Structure 1
Amino acid sequence: MKNPPAKPAQLITKEFAKQLNVNYNKKKAASVTGKSKKKEDANAIWYSLEALESYIHYIKTNGAKEGYNVDGIRFYFGTYPEDEAHGEKAGLTTLFLVPTGKKVESNEDQLKSFALVEDETPADIQSLSPMNYGNIGRPPSLVY
């Protein structure tokens, strides 16, 4: 490879990742006590590269159309409602993605140019749809 990609600054060790997963599993197991239905909850969510690339393309393209500089994706944990409409996922953990960015405005008054001025700190972009419904890694639960 001529130009290998730069090593991301957010990488963690495999050992620390394993400890994070163990901590999550212990905390989640402790919070499930007393439930009448014993369902094994998700402890991992998987999205295909194609789905992630498609979502990134969607948020960048539509974000730009709405005047945003899309700068990231925030990952939120959630729990499906306890109702029949959600079938086997009812009451279980999910992970959904929300685009973040800054509203960009053109400033024509500044030397009659179209310089971009960012007026907000990165925030969730409420006008773009979040992404959900990854594969929840069960059964059985995955352990890192």
Structure 2
Amino acid sequence: MGKKRPKKCISVEEAKELQKAWCDTRTPEIDKCLGFEDTREFWWSVEELQEYLKYVKKQSKKQGICNPGIRIYFGAYPKEQCKMDKGYSTVFLAPTGAPAGEMGKGGGSAANNYTLEPYNFGSAGDPPNSY
């Protein structure tokens, strides 16, 4: 049999609850302010993500970073770069980590690793897909 379920997995019900809370408390104001329904979900294939994680692991190891991480940031495209001249939201993945002995051991406070390129350009629902 395969590996056990990772400890930080949540149930489908919990995920639906999180999505609903986001939609109920944020999307009406965001969409009202922007004047259109913004995207709120992003997609990459498992293969793409594995390729990026392999890149981060390999390059981090070369830098002496033994426990790299990934931080996910919200972003928005400039209107001029978007279809339909809107300026949709996006997210990008940013590598984190410092060589052993520098700035702690990692976790949520790990420094961004600005020597490695962030990852972007997934697909997004238009209109957004609800979970």
Same fold (TM over 0.5): yes
Displacement after TM superposition at 1:29 (Å): 2.1
Displacement after TM superposition at 1:88 (Å): 4.2
CA RMSD of aligned residues (A): 1.9
1:19-98 superposed matches below 5 A: 19-26=17-24, 27-36=26-35, 38=36, 40-82=37-79, 84-88=80-84, 90-98=86-94
What is the letter of the counterpart of residue 54 of structure 1?
Answer: E
Map Cα deviations across residues 84-112 of structure 1 (whole Å, 9 max, x no partner). Answer: 233347421111101122313xxxxxxxx
- Percent of pairs with identical residues: 33
- 1:129 aligns with 117
What is the letter of the counterpart of residue 14 of structure 2?
Answer: F
Q: Secondary structure at the match of 2:32?
A: coil
Contact 2:94 2:113 in 1 (8 A): yes
Which structure features the higher share of helix residues? Answer: 2
TM-score after normalising by structure 2: 0.82
Displacement after TM superposition at 1:68 (Å): 1.9
Which structure features the higher share of strand residues? Answer: 1
Please list every run of 5 or more consecutive structure 1 residues that lacks an aligned counterpart in the other structure.
105-117
* CA radius of gyration, larger in: 1
* Structure 1 residues 89 and 131: CA distance shift in structure 2, 3 A: farther
Displacement after TM superposition at 1:120 (Å): 2.2
Runs of 4+ displaced beyond 3 Å: 86-90
Map Cα deviations across residues 15-60 of structure 1 (whole Å, 9 max, x no partner). Answer: 1110111122231222221445x3x321211110111011011111
TM-score after normalising by structure 1: 0.75
* Aligned residue pairs, count: 125
